[in-house]
Structure 1
């Protein structure tokens, strides 16, 4: 996690929550009061972001806060495990609690779901990747959670990262062939070209254009296998559309190289993590 990019985000999140100050905490505790607390897992999960994100929230509020014992990214823990230990000014721990917990719960939820998808296809060559279906303002963090989960990977980060000719590009342009021609006339040779398809005829057209990656979108299992056989290693094969934990194994076993799953970021349930006070 690049702190140059992360810190401005965390500052904004803290400013949103603190605004003009924590009137409850400031009324009860003095600047000299000290406390200790722990982040505790309330359920089994894959951990991401305890040291890189949650601890950094507290350090940005007060560099003197001690954050120790953070569970490493990608670790799998059971209910009741200590994820992070905190020691410092009581005011700081209470001010940062909600922002740090919100982010940790979100990132661990994404990592836990990503791990489940990766586990479901680990007997195949397929890799699980995310999409751009992220929460506005949280893409850096959410894609980090996927990548740090220990089993899944990132697709392109933004529209500037790679060429992906989708159905609306094709509809507006007139054909895959014309869209590919225009792209190749404009973009550098170092950028691969990917095209989204939903029929075998479109797959054949992509092969004729010699595109680097062919996305098979929302294809039924039979058509998916036919498409993989037709491509026969002449392009990287990505499957997408409606992928869930019930269907991902069959998709992977069809022989695709990549499976993109929007649910990793748009539908992950936040994990239950608590911040417990210590005497």
Structure 2
């Protein structure tokens, strides 16, 4: 064999011997040692990416729910996790972690879009409900604090007159009451209340009620001046089956904040 052929063969053998190091998942000790060896061969920036990718894949392979339920032992879960990394190079580990992240982001976006759709549908339903709720009118509303014998606490009293202009029987009505002074930007009290209507209120019927909220609630604590005005807004009506007929309450503060965050995250109008 000629000298240059021998030299070429030696170089080829040397390149094979110096192949890229791989992870060894045969045991926990072998995995730790091989991971350290793989990391040592990488430049600092890529080493950081490898370590993050390694951790992601290792945790991905651990089924914590199955461990907590006793369906798999911690040792068995660790073995499964090491098996998912066994024989991989640094580039393969990084590529696999990137694929996991892409798939996870796709799932998160799909779930977020479904949640946005659900919240926006709830908003639309609330807007539609307002049209029907406007037909259930509050024709008179009064609020007062009445002295009670042998008690230092005054009793809050709500007097309200309503007319059911909807085409449905109503079993319970939900209201938002506001006590405010004309010309002042901040009301003295904004509080919800509701009333289960004995016998219900049929379409076209009117009724007058005197309600006594809990004296220890916010109704019993309010200190409004004599010129304050009490207004009432209808927020929801339940039908004969006690299910909501019309609900205009829309989103809660938490839901509204959640919707805003999701739409900003995915750049939606």
TM over 0.5: no
TM-score range, shorter chain: under 0.3
Instruction: Point out the structure with the larger strand share.
Output: 2
Please report the TM-score for the alignment, with normalisation by the length of structure 2. 0.26
Please report the TM-score for the alignment, with normalisation by the length of structure 1. 0.25
Structure number with larger C-alpha Rg: 2
